[in-house]
Structure 1
């Protein structure tokens, strides 16, 4: 049939290049290894009777197979963990046809929204090209699932691919931008020619590596932290979500969705906002919690300090969670009444308008100035926001303020200076 001929031609063109896109993750001698550019004749056959570890140990000894150790020098001593702490990693491999996967997703047997997953990013063209890859039988990297309960799974790695498959089989995705099967552009699944429908339902498969329920939680998240198999590298906040799940992480995720907070950050459309898509809103909540009790701690490697803070506070007492939530909500509501949408934006005096995007140094200056009890008093009934914003604009003509929101922004002196100037502005206004 014609579509089969098309597929064969394209596979011939691709040859072994497809296998260069495969990334293999395997434990060898207790160390996490990542194998790239795996040729077809070497790639592990899951039908093999031998273990994956033994297979690659033999290949490493008898071939020039390239590999790299993820985070060199960091070992997961599985044998020691099993003996001393009964830690283990138990996996199962399943090849799902796409139709079965879509049904499992529709039934929520596979949960697409675990809290540690990145927010959705792929556009329709990229999703369409994944479907085209399945039609061409191009190898697609496996997904990683966690068994939450018997017969219930959540996605550790592969949310984009699964969301893509679900949208396609429920006719939410219209194929666009296809280069090989251009005749399919503009079609949804239900109006594809029947041979294509049948092929995608029954012949196209995606391998799932399932981390079973018996596996240790810490090892599961360490594996996720090292995967990074997708085309979009995880950023610092996405890594924190995966590596340090717990009460504090849940709180930051929940508060990041606050409508007032999104207004202050300039998040109007979640689908278009980089702040939302890249979880910067979550990171800003964590930034607040990291430094609001100890602002003197602010200097140096801020990202590391935030990671260290969430690691140390994964488990948090309910009373402290409520205290943190109250402090955060009171602060952003106070800021919103004073500054509104201009809180974290820079005034460009020479151009006569506000920068569209918020800036982190201004976030620090405003939010930490407003934490102080001397400032956070009742806003008088005769408060004039327009007059206050006019005074705020004048701050950007202050050379010291301008310098410390532009240069050396993570130094202690810069933080103290810009925070003090915002603090004085607010206090002078409210004390009149």
Structure 2
């Protein structure tokens, strides 16, 4: 197929339209249920109060803000693809944003901004009239206009996922996992909720001590994504990894869309992997063992997570299979001397090289 033929073919798959709409119109559509911003997305929002206040400042002063991208669903309603944080900030400012529990969030308390320092402490409907946004400011916000780019319903169903991966305009750049989470919510909200619930299990949290930043960037969910994806793949499929982030996204979305995917079996494997790890090794589960000091130390290593957690899990979906505590300790202590581990844990090793090694080694070392 020639380049021109490819262009013409793909152009049929993505149908778009574009409007300029007032903020007031978008708010009205949200309140009427015609503009969807799924409550599950709220875990993905990472804007600070200062970033939110700068957006409000831009709307008041008429400073252009980036477009938002919408997917038009079959029933004609619109779902936000890109611009989640901008639209949620607008709705939080006016007191219209619904929390995950269905109740409205309190209006945003604004902070001092570069051009409008008097915004500090104000809000849309503050009980203190001196701290309530003046009507002129409210009207300026509601009358300000935003370009809305629409992916129409006749587009290929995967178009909105592809667009979401490519679009990350303004604000705090999204991590791969944050983008992945949003795509999962679009694909199967129940699947995303399931993964999120797994991340709250105490036995899992006891094994992965992470910084506030890592938790903020959803790295706990990335570990669970790796766990689910890699334990369900055959080794020969792991040689096709060119870019790990895209590979993980494609595979987890594929599992979320698969009606035959066995969540129960994977949840059993998750529990039977992390419960004994928490009991036997705790927060040393994925740290390198030091034979001289007879303890594990240093930072958590993703290569050890792939070998131990995913290696164990491959066998533990079957309730008849047992991996004894002594075996876990034996493997953990033996890893530093394993040549394949050393080749997989250094700097600059490509995922396509490391992951087949680590996953294969884990399955080999825990083989029943």
- Normalising by structure 1, we get a TM-score of 0.61
How much does 1:156 deviate? 0.6
Where does residue 285 of structure 1 map in the other structure?
225
Give aligned pairs, total.
340
Deviations 1:268-318 (A, max 9, x none): 89xx45345346614642454234442465456471654564576564243
Deviations 1:377-408 (A, max 9, x none): 5578xx79xx987x787557647587356314
Q: 1:354 to 1:293 in 2, by over 3 A?
A: same
Where does residue 19 of structure 2 map in the other structure?
93
Q: 1:346 to 1:135 in 2, by over 3 A?
A: farther
Where does residue 140 of structure 2 map in the other structure?
200
Q: 1:172 to 1:396 in 2, by over 3 A?
A: farther
1:419 aligns with 2:342: no
On the 8 A contact 2:195/2:224 being kept in 1, the answer is no
1:340 aligns with 2:279: no
Mapped to 2, the partners of 1:246 and 1:176 lie a distance apart of 32
Structure showing greater relative contact order (alpha-carbon pairs closer than 8 Å, 6 or more residues apart) = 2
Aligned-partner SS, 2:44: coil
Aligned-partner SS, 2:147: strand
How much does 1:196 deviate? 4.3
Mapped to 1, the partners of 2:283 and 2:31 lie a distance apart of 39
Matches within 5 A, 1:22-41: none
Where does residue 117 of structure 2 map in the other structure?
182
Mapped to 1, the partners of 2:147 and 2:40 lie a distance apart of 23
Aligned-partner SS, 1:318: coil
Matches within 5 A, 1:47-58: none
On the 8 A contact 1:144/1:157 being kept in 2, the answer is yes
How much does 1:360 deviate? 1.3
Deviations 1:215-235 (A, max 9, x none): 442334444444333444554
1:257 aligns with 2:182: no
Q: 1:352 to 1:365 in 2, by over 3 A?
A: closer
Which one has the bigger helix percentage? 2
Mapped to 2, the partners of 1:372 and 1:94 lie a distance apart of 52
1:229 aligns with 2:172: no
* Structure 1 gaps, min length 5: 1-29, 32-72, 82-86, 428-432
Where does residue 362 of structure 1 map in the other structure?
304
Mapped to 1, the partners of 2:178 and 2:91 lie a distance apart of 23
How much does 1:131 deviate? 0.9
Q: 1:125 to 1:133 in 2, by over 3 A?
A: same
1:165 aligns with 2:90: yes
Q: 1:197 to 1:138 in 2, by over 3 A?
A: closer
Q: Of the candidates 59, 65, 70, which is equivalent to residue 145 of structure 1?
A: 70
Aligned-partner SS, 2:221: helix
Q: 1:153 to 1:267 in 2, by over 3 A?
A: farther
On the 8 A contact 1:105/1:111 being kept in 2, the answer is yes
Q: 1:405 to 1:342 in 2, by over 3 A?
A: farther
Larger radius of gyration: 1
Mapped to 1, the partners of 2:224 and 2:178 lie a distance apart of 13
Mapped to 2, the partners of 1:215 and 1:417 lie a distance apart of 40
On the 8 A contact 2:231/2:314 being kept in 1, the answer is no
